A and B are shown apart, each in its own frame.
Chain A
Amino acid sequence: MTEASAILALAHRDFIKLLRDRQRMVADFAFPLIFIGILGTSLQAGFGSQAGINLLDYVFTGVLAQTVWQSSALGLISLLADREQDFSQEIFVSPISRYSIILGKILGESLVGLPQALAIIIFGFILQIHIGPDQLARMALAIVVIALFGGAFGVIVLANLSSQRAANQIFPFVLLPQFFLAGIFNPIQNLPLPLDILSHLAPMRYAVDLLRDAYYGSTSPVVLTDAATNVLIIGALFLVFMVIGTFLFVRAERNR
């Protein structure tokens, strides 16, 4: 009970911080809109007919998944910011479990990603991307799973980083390649073997594919794997990232 309360309090705090940080709100919303609005529309205009699929829909679903996933992954960096602002001391001397602390943080940063997802979907409607009510319901579920998954990925990446600066330098390297390996803009059905292996190793691939499962349906030729398999893989990775990440983070925090 105490642990659950504490997890909620931690999550609540992160969400409040977003609401009070106007600049971050604007930046968070602008980036995906530029991606879909400019890249999606121009790709569709240039290559849409050759690819045989609607690239605007394709980029829209890709960017939606990527934004939510990346938002909570990057959000976890605030754990390091807390350390630098000395606030993490207050959290870490409290008697709650270290796993609860990390879980609260993941939940909070996932919540932060949801308004962004909502904005992107509204933008999708404006661009006249067709989203039916059943699609929307499935996508909402997928988005929650993706957000939590992204948070766990953030934990494992920053577990061994000492500062926010280091994190800001490392994250582009672990995120940018995944944009292409996960197939946000580009279909990845026919990748050469080395890239195909890398693509399977990129966690973002499963997040993006799960959202496309929700949008297109698991039987569509656009998706790579069915929803159940994706959820299974994501669940397993979540546990591994979360447990190992927490262990490493706490160890780095205490063994200085």
Chain B
Amino acid sequence: MIRVEDLVKRYKKAETNAVDGISFQVKPGEFFVLLGPNGAGKTTTISILTTTLSPTSGGATIDGSDIVRDASAVRRKVGIIFQRPSLDQNLTAEENVRFHAVLYGIFPYAPTYGLMARGYRAKVEELARLLGIARDIHKPIKTFSGGMRRKLEIMRSLLHDPKVLFLDEPTAGLDVPTRRTLWEHLSEVRRTSGTTVFLTTHYLEEAEEADRICIIDKGKVVSFGTPDDIKRDLVEEYVLIDAADRSALRDELARLGHATSGGAPFKVQLDGHTVHSILRSIETPLSVVKTHTPTLEDAYLEIVSKTSD
């Protein structure tokens, strides 16, 4: 569905690339997460994929349409929720929705709600009911809460049946309960529409339900795969041991077939074994035992802080 190849973006007057040669693919119907710390290049990537920013080099296609040559076709195929809300504060909820519907050619323009096509009004009524804002749909956006605005934006972005829905840090600035209900809303949307979802976030927990995750940092891909792949890739679980008689310990570890790396203290990879079973199999008296079993979050922080040094 999305194919990104060696994408590079350097902003004017910048000394480094904001996006530095990233490549990845997203399959149809997938829940794809682009994960990375602030300034990793997530928004830049999403802006290029949705054609609002030109790439410096490299390219991408969305559902077979080139983002530079067929920008208009790409725009028709994608929906996007921007990092910062893009509702017009001066308009009512319904007027914002109407504006979108007309811009995407779903319904012809009419100056008032009553004059809009019957199909449109049915859609708006359904939408208002789903959001529980039947009474407020004709009120200015100013009166809506942050979470409600976000939901309205998601509903609006789905009006034209996009093949891919891009969400750029949709939960930024929302409180925890709002974040949760928004999340439930999004899973519901995914389940009913089957749309490919491309989400960026810097919260690891938001990536856990993803089909696949791409971690980027400093504009480069750091890790890519299913959450389990990522965990295996990122999380290095080992036990660190040492003994007074180091050569005996080294020989014994070799004989037992444990993978070690470097000199003493010896780093023994768990490779699916438990710490207990490894320790029990060793007969050389040990002087040091240290376990290292980080969570995915620890591992993510470790990777991210390593590259930022």
Residues of chain A whose beta carbon lies under 8 Å from any beta carbon of chain B? 1-2, 5-6, 8-10, 12-13, 16-17, 20-21, 85-87, 89-97, 253-256
Quick check: A89 and B11 within 8 Å, CB to CB? no
Contacting residue for B78 out of A6, A86, A93, CB 8 A: A93
Give the docked Cα–Cα distance between A172 and B111 (Å): 34
Contacting residue for A254 out of B53, B75, B103, CB 8 A: B53
B134 within 8 A of A: no
Give the docked Cα–Cα distance between A93 and B160 (Å): 13
Contacting residue for A5 out of B51, B54, B109, CB 8 A: B109
Contacting residue for A256 out of B11, B76, B87, CB 8 A: B11
Quick check: B51 and A93 within 8 Å, CB to CB? yes
Contacting residue for A255 out of B50, B54, B88, B102, CB 8 A: B54
Give the docked Cα–Cα distance between A87 and B89 (Å): 9
Closest-CB distance, B96 to chain A (whole angstroms) = 9
Residues of A within 8 A of B103 (CB): 6, 9-10, 91, 94-96
Q: B12, B90, B98, B111 — which one has the most chain A CB atoms within 10 A of its CB?
A: B90
**Can you list the 4 inter-chain pairs with the closest CB atoms, starting with the nearest?**
A2-B105, A5-B109, A94-B103, A9-B102
Quick check: B108 and A94 within 8 Å, CB to CB? no
Listed by A's residue number, 29 A-B pairs whose Cβ atoms lie within 8 Å are A1-B105, A1-B108, A5-B109, A8-B109, A16-B91, A16-B95, A17-B90, A85-B89, A87-B87, A87-B88, A90-B82, A90-B87, A90-B99, A92-B52, A93-B75, A93-B80, A94-B75, A94-B100, A94-B103, A94-B104, A95-B73, A95-B75, A96-B105, A97-B72, A253-B52, A255-B12, A255-B54, A256-B11, A256-B53
Total A-B Cβ pairs within 8 A: 81
Residues of A within 8 A of B194 (CB): none
Closest-CB distance, B84 to chain A (whole angstroms) = 4
Contacting residue for B82 out of A9, A89, A253, CB 8 A: A89
Chain B, Cβ-Cβ closest to A5: B109
Quick check: B102 and A6 within 8 Å, CB to CB? yes
Residues of B within 8 A of A21 (CB): 90
Quick check: B86 and A256 within 8 Å, CB to CB? no
Residues of B within 8 A of A91 (CB): 103
Residues of A within 8 A of B111 (CB): 12
Residues of A within 8 A of B82 (CB): 86, 89-90
Give the docked Cα–Cα distance between A158 and B214 (Å): 39
Closest-CB distance, B140 to chain A (whole angstroms) = 8
Quick check: A20 and B53 within 8 Å, CB to CB? no
B132 within 8 A of A: no
